Structure 1
Amino acid sequence: MNGTTGSTGSTRSTSPESPFTTDVLVVGSGPTGLLLAGDLAAAGLDVTVVERRAHGVSNMTRAFAVHARTLEMLDARGLADELVKRGRTIDHLRLFGRASLDMTRLRSRFPYVLITPQYEVEQVLEQRALSAGAEFRYGAELLSLRQDAEGVTAELRGTTDAGPTTVRARYLVGTDGVHSSVREALGLPFPGVAVIRSIVLADVRLTEEPEGLLTVNGSGDSFAFIAPFGDGYYRVMGWNRKRQAPDSAPVDLAELRTIAREALGSDYGMHDARWISRFHSDERQAPAYRVGRVFLAGDAAHVHSPAGGQGMNTGLQDAANLSWKLAAALRGRTPDAEALLDSYQTERHPVGKTVLRTSGSLVRLAMAHNPLQRVARSVFTRIVASVRPASNRAIGMISGLAISYGQERGAHPLAGKRAPDLELAEGRLYEVLRRGKFVLVTPRGGEVPAPSGAICAHWKSDRRGTLLVRPDGYVAWASDRADAPGLHTALARWTGRA
């Protein structure tokens, strides 16, 4: 699986007709690719994003929910507050019309779910990537790729009228969605199943405003979901067990109204659909997220059911995990670049598998129709509603705050865990993380010098422990002691500098 890490210092031709070289070629300009490109460009790397579609904002996106952990990562990039201003927040989630998950219990600066369309997320991420110096090439389709010990050669169609363009990159990342051309070029399978078919999706206006910001319920043979765009239109999704048609089957607003009335008790006067379509939802995961110098992230690596709104959030977290590792490998700031790059697969593949399982379980419970399944759903709902540990676990998984990465035996219990937004003498942790480096947190008055490749910060309180926080906001190493005898070994391992 491993490739050979090459050095950085690439150059790019100024002529658009000739081949060019870049540190990282990102194929796909959805949220995952945009966050990755912005991180790499902010780290001073040469990054090029290619996208087969023409440039422009599309409202035909299915993602609406931005969860707390994703907002924390955006906060570490100075983007969360702006995005929150554009959307609306909800602090309670209802499961199957009964159990209510209280998101205000989250120990986060963002104790809620932000409801905002995917294109708003893409806009703030694209602006950041452009400001940092990322180059975008639209209307460019990947035809083929091949690897060697030094890099990846990709052939693109559509960048010029003169024929295919050859791109030479140190690394290539496929963030090009469920029908990933990168994954296909690698010959990787994408095993899985269609978990739910014949979902009707539309943007409509409503005569009556729903009772809640997020309206979702299942009843009888139907399931429906309504969320506001904020511009007078609402995204409506509906499914009916008895109407299992192929994606190509005709669909109209009357079908969606019928589904909504059965599932929600009202169609809220739906009218003036600006678009409507039918689709199916798959559960699939690639067996490998890394093949040599090529990586997969987002929907190119995994695709889930829409339950829980996990798809976009999981992809953004993939990008946050991979970007600093690629930057460290390209800048020679790690003693073992191959092991660090392999850790992307080690850490993120199990997360994708877990999200696949939990979102699939939720959608199957929503689709329950025989008596045994409905009893199981009722029991699950009662447990989540009345047993606080179960409720906390559900909230932690949905929000992403409970996601952690495995560590070696004997490591501190905090290692691999998400670092909360600690109050430091230098400000909030996630403000300090905006510099894109490791953060070493030590007691005030400590004698630990600021290591190269890391920022030295101090507890605002009298806490005596020591933490080394990764650029993606996870704890790399920790000690309950201030003198931290293993600190220099940890710094050498993670940053390449003691």
Structure 2
Amino acid sequence: MYDCDVLIVGGGPVGVTLALELAQQKVSFRIIDQAPERSDKSRAMVIQPRTLELLNRHGHAQSLVDQGRPIKGLNIIVNNKPATGINLDTVETVDSEFPLPLGISQADTERFLDECLATHGFSVERPLAAKSITQDSDSVTTTIENTFTSSQSTIRSRYVVGCDGAHSFVRHAATNLSFPGAPYSQDFLLCDAHITTPTSLPLDRFSLMMADAVCMFFPMTNNIVRFITSAPSSESSPDQLTLPYFQSLLAKYAPPGHGILTNAVWISRFRLHHRGVNAYRDGRLLLAGDAAHIHSPVGGQGMNTGIQDAVNLGWKLAAVLQGRTADPEGLLNSYDAERRRVGEHLLQTTDKAFNVAVSKNWLYIKTRNLVFSAVLPIVMPRVMKGARQQGWYKFLTEFGVTYRKGPVVGAASGWVGRVGKGDRCPDGRVVGEKGEEVTVQGICGGRGYCLLVVVPPGGEKVEGHGEVVGRVKEAMRDGVEGRFIFARPKGEGEVPQGGYVDVEGKVCKMFGFTKPGYVLVRPDLYVAHIGHLEKVDELVGFVKGLSRHTMIEITNPSLIQEGPRVAPWKKITPLVLIHDGGGTIFSYHCLGHLDRTTYGIANPRYYTGESWEGGIPEVARHYLKLIKSVIPRGKFILGGWSLGGLISMEIARLVADDPALCLVGLIMIDSIFPSPRHINRDVPVVQHLIEWNERTRQETRDAIMRCFKDSGEMVSRWTLPTWGDESVEGEGHKTPGPTDRDRVLPPPPVILLRAELPVPVTEPGVSRVDVLRHERFLGWDQYRKDWITEVMDLPNCHHFNIFVGEEALDLVTAKINKACRDLDAIHLAKQR
């Protein structure tokens, strides 16, 4: 058993962002940090617009903007005189809710992230440090230590992600990772302090000052600024840094009227490095943020790049852990392929810019300052415009990050629009069917993929576009949300459910559509596939190939019914129902009110036809993880129809070893003992013919029959679970004896719902599900004499019509309700 699927080491912005991604995807995780509390230092103090967009998927990022200060440009000052500048507020900015960089303390950023994580019921566990990490073929064992008490414990997880900074313990624990690079040659001095106003240094822009040293001036909120300088080449800095010393540097490099630094918040001396890891993954160990790349502060990219590492990794880890990929290695490797390319490009660009700025060669410094002061005022206004200005803006804001060379993106043949495969999904405002104004990213930013069908003015009729969504949903295992965007005047024509109006046609233009098209958007708001609607066959082909990487499955477990609202102290035990042999849970959706929150688990391999090589035990392990994604701890009732009851038995045995969960009992709906020792062999067993609805598609029929076949094979080789106190042998099955378990555990109470009638067959004999119909316990007393606690009869029902017709549905609903109440009563009596 695993303690969690993912252990995140490091509770800073990168680690908490990854925790948010996993929480959104309902993946079990723990996140630890060795610091006793969150730091109050400002540290990284710029959030780029693209990062704000991605964080907005988890919380109201506008609240961060309200706390910080939007940065409208850059001033360049040479020898105390303004030379030139770049105004971001005059750039034709990307259409986004967050067009400008934000100056804000990292402490405020971390507080926002922690509050978002708390809404999922999680927090960073402190003060816990990783002391040893050992990985094997299917898990990672991490020894952690409480730095206050020195007590140690171990965590067994499927993966460990190091978000633990430049000195990453996780990176050092990996055997195949290196961190090549070097420190820059000089020290840097930092002071965060208040500044008096007015000041000649604008508080809505960065300022870069060059003389015999290079200084950077970053405004934050409440008149707090950050002043960073390289050690001046003409003098040595004092051993003890003081606020008056920084004031003297400000007077030396800033224009007159610069203001006075007061009330220092943080003073520090540090050495910068430029390093990048050779791979972001070593087996079950992965890295993100400063653990994978560290570089100069040019452009304020470091923390932002780390946060976007986490966003890229989160949904991919979820797809692997939830069994939604036939190629887990390929999908995890795509994290390295996409993000390492971004990290390496950032290292190269920031390193070049930084070396130009901080050279210690006196001749170079004199020449640079002379050229910059004389040339920049003339050249910059002419050069920094149009495409060059847009390119610089997109680099700075990280809107320009693209995965065009990534392995899990694509585009239709002939596509030459403004947005390509792997690019950021543009944002823009559209109007919903009820007149509400929303953003494109707002309607896409969920757990799974989103398919946008975009129709320019004069596009084809709506009906044809709906068929496209249907085909893609089928190919993606229903794991995609479809949205229609029509470019036309507001109020002109009816907008179908799920439709939006692009009133001014801006969204169509942003994507580059001149005729109806589609955009498949990934969970991280990047374009997975794009093209014209006429090339939908290529999209379907891509999706089928993508499913080999990521079989989308965002509704498992499915919420069948939401329980009634009750007082917080009156908790109603939830119910989980496992699919039948056909792999579906449609029958459970037909039930009446069950008076409790009810989840259903369908066979995630229903469409693929892929077998469970590990049989029912493998199914049970996977389904238990799904259950824990919605019920991480506490009580629940488990059950299912036919095969669902058998799988529930195996899950029940796993739950018995899980201290976080409490199984109140099982409800087996006409589940037959799988291998009886005593049957009437004079009566032939005949195949029951399924009666299909005439509207049932052939693909659906084929999928159901594949599941039935696979179910029969799994049951035939199944070793029934034991509870450590007896050994039972049945024909075709062997149940291990007590030596197979370390301790004796009482089995859960089981209520059997039993259909009274045999299944009608077209030839002499009985259906396979009726060979024990004449027995009260359907043969389960051959497994254990005490296995069935209670039998509830379903009169006028046979195995295959229990969920057919109003009368049968009312009956089985009432029986399930009573079974749940009885199990609750039994559990309560045991607690007394």
- By the TM > 0.5 criterion, same fold? yes
Indicate how the Cα distance of structure 1 residues 292 and 385 shifts in structure 2: closer, same or farther if over 3 A, else same. farther
Residues of 1 paired with 2:217 and 2:74: CA distance? Answer: 13
Could you tell which deviates more after superposition, 271-280 or 89-98?
89-98
Residues of 2 paired with 1:396 and 1:380: CA distance? Answer: 21
Residues of 1 paired with 2:14 and 2:371: CA distance? Answer: 35
1:376-415 equivalent positions in 2, closer than 5 A: 385-387=381-383, 388=385, 389-407=387-405, 411-412=411-412, 414-415=420-421
2:279 corresponds to:
288
Secondary structure of 1:129's aligned partner = helix
Residues of 2 paired with 1:204 and 1:410: CA distance? Answer: 49
- Aligned to 2:16, which of 14, 25, 34? 34
Please report how far the alpha carbon of residue 398 of structure 1 lies from its aligned counterpart in structure 2 after TM superposition.
0.7
Contact 2:187 2:230 in 1 (8 A): yes
The yes-or-no answer on 1:146 pairing with 2:134 is: yes
CA RMSD of aligned residues (A): 2.7
Please report how far the alpha carbon of residue 488 of structure 1 lies from its aligned counterpart in structure 2 after TM superposition.
2.1
Please report how far the alpha carbon of residue 98 of structure 1 lies from its aligned counterpart in structure 2 after TM superposition.
1.4
Residues of 1 paired with 2:268 and 2:442: CA distance? Answer: 42
Residues of 2 paired with 1:476 and 1:145: CA distance? Answer: 35
Residues of 2 paired with 1:385 and 1:148: CA distance? Answer: 58
The yes-or-no answer on 1:466 pairing with 2:518 is: yes
Secondary structure of 1:82's aligned partner = helix
- Aligned to 1:62, which of 43, 59, 79? 43
Please report how far the alpha carbon of residue 215 of structure 1 lies from its aligned counterpart in structure 2 after TM superposition.
4.4
- Aligned to 1:272, which of 263, 267, 276? 263
Indicate how the Cα distance of structure 1 residues 159 and 433 shifts in structure 2: closer, same or farther if over 3 A, else same. farther
Indicate how the Cα distance of structure 1 residues 161 and 146 shifts in structure 2: closer, same or farther if over 3 A, else same. same
1:290-319: per-residue Cα shift (whole Å, max 9, x none)?
A: 111111101110011111111111111111
Residues of 1 paired with 2:147 and 2:241: CA distance? Answer: 36
1:200 corresponds to:
189
1:496 corresponds to:
551
1:377-422: per-residue Cα shift (whole Å, max 9, x none)?
A: 6778865542322222111111101111133798455111111114
1:196-224: per-residue Cα shift (whole Å, max 9, x none)?
A: 63211122222334341234222321222
Could you state the TM-score of these two structures normalised by the residue count of structure 1? 0.88
Please report how far the alpha carbon of residue 95 of structure 1 lies from its aligned counterpart in structure 2 after TM superposition.
4.5
Secondary structure of 2:542's aligned partner = helix
The yes-or-no answer on 1:486 pairing with 2:538 is: yes
Secondary structure of 2:424's aligned partner = coil
1:220-259: per-residue Cα shift (whole Å, max 9, x none)?
A: 212223334424533222223327879x942222331222
Please report how far the alpha carbon of residue 167 of structure 1 lies from its aligned counterpart in structure 2 after TM superposition.
0.6
Contact 1:223 1:259 in 2 (8 A): no
Residues of 1 paired with 2:242 and 2:423: CA distance? Answer: 47
* 1:113 counterpart letter in structure 2: P
Residues of 2 paired with 1:32 and 1:488: CA distance? Answer: 35
1:74 corresponds to:
55
Contact 1:219 1:262 in 2 (8 A): no
Residues of 1 paired with 2:171 and 2:76: CA distance? Answer: 35
Residues of 2 paired with 1:161 and 1:354: CA distance? Answer: 43
1:82-105: per-residue Cα shift (whole Å, max 9, x none)?
A: 111111112222345413142542
- Aligned to 2:240, which of 250, 259, 265? 250
The yes-or-no answer on 1:100 pairing with 2:100 is: no
1:3 corresponds to:
none
Contact 2:445 2:524 in 1 (8 A): no
Please report how far the alpha carbon of residue 358 of structure 1 lies from its aligned counterpart in structure 2 after TM superposition.
1.8
Please report how far the alpha carbon of residue 453 of structure 1 lies from its aligned counterpart in structure 2 after TM superposition.
1.8
* 1:55 counterpart letter in structure 2: E
How many residue pairs are counted as aligned between the two chains? 478
1:95-149: per-residue Cα shift (whole Å, max 9, x none)?
A: 4541314254221322211111111111111111222133421111111111112
Residues of 2 paired with 1:157 and 1:243: CA distance? Answer: 47
* 1:404 counterpart letter in structure 2: T
Contact 2:95 2:428 in 1 (8 A): no
2:449 corresponds to:
438
Contact 1:385 1:391 in 2 (8 A): no
1:457 corresponds to:
483
Residues of 2 paired with 1:34 and 1:485: CA distance? Answer: 40
Identity of aligned residues (%): 31
Residues of 1 paired with 2:193 and 2:337: CA distance? Answer: 42
* 1:258 counterpart letter in structure 2: S
The yes-or-no answer on 1:303 pairing with 2:294 is: yes
Residues of 2 paired with 1:394 and 1:241: CA distance? Answer: 29
Residues of 2 paired with 1:377 and 1:341: CA distance? Answer: 46
Secondary structure of 1:276's aligned partner = strand
Residues of 2 paired with 1:157 and 1:209: CA distance? Answer: 50
Indicate how the Cα distance of structure 1 residues 244 and 33 shifts in structure 2: closer, same or farther if over 3 A, else same. farther
Residues of 1 paired with 2:219 and 2:85: CA distance? Answer: 22
Contact 2:519 2:527 in 1 (8 A): yes
Residues of 1 paired with 2:148 and 2:196: CA distance? Answer: 48
Contact 1:419 1:474 in 2 (8 A): yes
2:582 corresponds to:
none
Secondary structure of 1:137's aligned partner = coil
Residues of 2 paired with 1:142 and 1:273: CA distance? Answer: 34
Higher relative contact order (CA 8 A, sep 6+): 1
Indicate how the Cα distance of structure 1 residues 243 and 458 shifts in structure 2: closer, same or farther if over 3 A, else same. farther
1:118 corresponds to:
106
Please report how far the alpha carbon of residue 357 of structure 1 lies from its aligned counterpart in structure 2 after TM superposition.
1.8
Contact 1:299 1:315 in 2 (8 A): yes
* 2:124 counterpart letter in structure 1: F
Secondary structure of 1:419's aligned partner = coil
Contact 1:466 1:478 in 2 (8 A): yes
1:134-171: per-residue Cα shift (whole Å, max 9, x none)?
A: 34211111111111121211111117847321111111
* 1:391 counterpart letter in structure 2: Q
Residues of 1 paired with 2:527 and 2:105: CA distance? Answer: 31
- Gap runs ≥5 in structure 1: 1-9, 12-20
Please report how far the alpha carbon of residue 372 of structure 1 lies from its aligned counterpart in structure 2 after TM superposition.
5.4
Please report how far the alpha carbon of residue 362 of structure 1 lies from its aligned counterpart in structure 2 after TM superposition.
2.5
1:163-197: per-residue Cα shift (whole Å, max 9, x none)?
A: 32111111111011111111111143222122363
2:310 corresponds to:
319
1:18 corresponds to:
none
Larger Rg: 2
Residues of 2 paired with 1:380 and 1:24: CA distance? Answer: 51
